[in-house]
Amino acid sequence: MKASLSENINALKEDMVLSVILVNHNGKEFIFNCLNSIKENIGGIKSEVIVVDNHSTDGSADIIQERYPDIRLLRNQKNLGFSKANNQGLKKCKGNYILIINPDTRVYSGSIKKLLSELKENPDIGGVGPALINRKNDFQVSFGGKINFFSEAIKKIFLNRFTNYQLKRNQNKRDVKWLSAACFMSTREVLKKAGMFDEKFFLYFEDIDLCMRIRKKGRRLVYQPNAKVFHEGGSSTKKRKLKSRYYYRESQIYFYQKHSSPFSLFLLKVFLSINFVFVLFLGFFKKNKNFKDRVRFFKLLSLK
């Protein structure tokens, strides 16, 4: 992380309580409902809303500029990724408390104030996240524990099937090891000390990486289900699934390099090698139009 990043967030305007940061990339279908719900939830709080637009081509940035003149809109000339765009917003924001939220969300009434109260009342907390609810009124995976090859495998094969049932049954707040950046509130001080988002993560795993660094600084992370946020999930990636999958695997390998054992990284690469060969084999016989694009995945296995 560049030194100037921390320097740029030193100046704090004392009367600004909350900064809300959204990264938008072709989010026209959802972002206006999100912005409206945020506006409804920040009444009475001295706050600002910053939208960092990652070169949207759907006209959403122009509409935001026209409909919401009080929102600070930062436009990028290309898609810089989730981490870098959020850091841009963090460098420009003025609030002491910072809410990072996806544009494909809608905030339930009172939820922002509940997250804010949690941080204000517990100075040892470095970050807090709400329950994320989908269209089926089910709970999404928005927090978790240790990440390695075995924990991910067990979680995806077994535990994710029971997540909704477990979270509906247990509505108590709890300490966790990471929180989803789909909706995540922290403070300026905590994020500064943690070093902000690692910009080598283009998309995925950047929130888990940040949370691990926050915890290493001695701060707790808390899941607070009394605050609830609707989350569409995958709205900016569902139209480019192959590219999204590539970013996921690229970030996953980098995350393992940073935080997991060499053995876990080895097992991950073995699994991906087998998986990619199988997919390429099927694509060749099915004459999949994305066959050549899938070859890019093999380059990930040589990352050091």
The DSSP line for the chain is --HHHHHHT----TT--EEEEEEESS-TTTHHHHHHHHHHH-TTS-EEEEEEEE--SSSHHHHHHHH-TTSEEEEESS---HHHHHHHHHHH---SEEEEE-TTEEEPTTHHHHHHHHHHH-TTEEEEEEEEE-TTSPBP--EE---SHHHHHHHHHTGGGGHHHHHHH----EEESEE-TTEEEEEHHHHHHHTS--TT-SSSSHHHHHHHHHHHTT-EEEEEEEEEEEE--STTTGGGHHHHHHHHHHHHHHHHHHHS-HHHHHHHHHHHHHHHHHHHHHHHHTT-TTHHHHTHHHHHTT--
Residues 173-203 have pLDDT tens digits of 999 999 999 999 999 999 999 999 999 999 9
Quick one: 61 and 135 in the same domain?
yes
Quick one: 205 and 279 in the same domain?
no
Quick one: 46 and 150 in the same domain?
yes
Mean pLDDT of 65-70: 96
Quick one: 134 and 282 in the same domain?
no
Quick one: 186 and 290 in the same domain?
no
Quick one: 156 and 288 in the same domain?
no
What confidence score (pLDDT) does residue 302 get? Answer: 63
**Least confident stretch, 14-28, 91-105, 147-161, 215-229:** 147-161
Quick one: 126 and 261 in the same domain?
no
Quick one: 143 and 242 in the same domain?
no
What confidence score (pLDDT) does residue 5 get? Answer: 45
Quick one: 190 and 288 in the same domain?
no
263: domain range? 238-300
Please tell me the total count of domains within the chain.
Answer: 2
Residues 7-39 have pLDDT tens digits of 444 444 458 999 999 999 999 999 999 999 999
- Give the domain CATH number at 203: 3.90.550.10
Quick one: 251 and 226 in the same domain?
no
What confidence score (pLDDT) does residue 13 get? Answer: 47
Q: What mean pLDDT is reported for the chain? A: 87
Question: How many Cβ atoms from other residues are within 10 Å of residue 59's Cβ?
Answer: 10
Q: Are 259 and 149 in contact (CB under 8 A)?
A: no
Is residue 258 over pLDDT 60?
yes
Quick one: 186 and 243 in the same domain?
no
Is residue 117 very low, low, confident or very high in pLDDT (cuts 50, 70, 90)? very high
Mean pLDDT of 222-251: 83
Final residue in a domain of this structure, among 181, 200, 231? 231
Final residue in a domain of this structure, among 199, 231, 263? 231
Quick one: 220 and 99 in the same domain?
yes
Final residue in a domain of this structure, among 172, 198, 231? 231
